[in-house]
Structure 1
Amino acid sequence: MGWLRSLFSPFKKLWFRLHSAPKNRTGIYILYEDVKSCPCEDVHVLWSILMESNAPSLPAKH
C-alpha cells in the first residue's frame, strides 16, 4: 500500500497548492484588505490614484 501512497503524493501536494489561499502576496496588493476596510474616504481616493499610476499604459497609436 506504500507504493500507492507514493504514487498519489505529488498529486496531493499539487491539489493543496492550487486550492490553498496565497500566503505570500507581494507588492502593494498586500495592503488592499486594509484599505478596503478603512472607513476614511481619503484613503480610498489615495488608493485609487496609486492604482491608476501603477496601471500599465496603452501604447499610443500613430
Structure 2
Amino acid sequence: MGWLHSLFFPLKKLWLRTHTAKRKSKGIHNLYEDVKSCPNKDVHILWSILVESPALSIPSEN
C-alpha cells in the first residue's frame, strides 16, 4: 500500500496547491460574501464604514 500512497501524495499536494491558490486570488470578494451571509447587523455596519470611508492618504513632505 505504500506505493499507492507514494503515487497519489504528489498529485494530492499539487491539487491542494492549485486549489488554494485560486481561493486566495479572490481575496476581498470572499470577505464580501462572508459579510453578506452574516446575520449580525453590526458586521454590516462595520463593512459599510470600511467601504464608504475615503482611502487614507499619506501626507506629502514639503
TM-score (norm 2): 0.41
TM-score (norm 1): 0.41
Report which of the two has the higher share of helix. 2
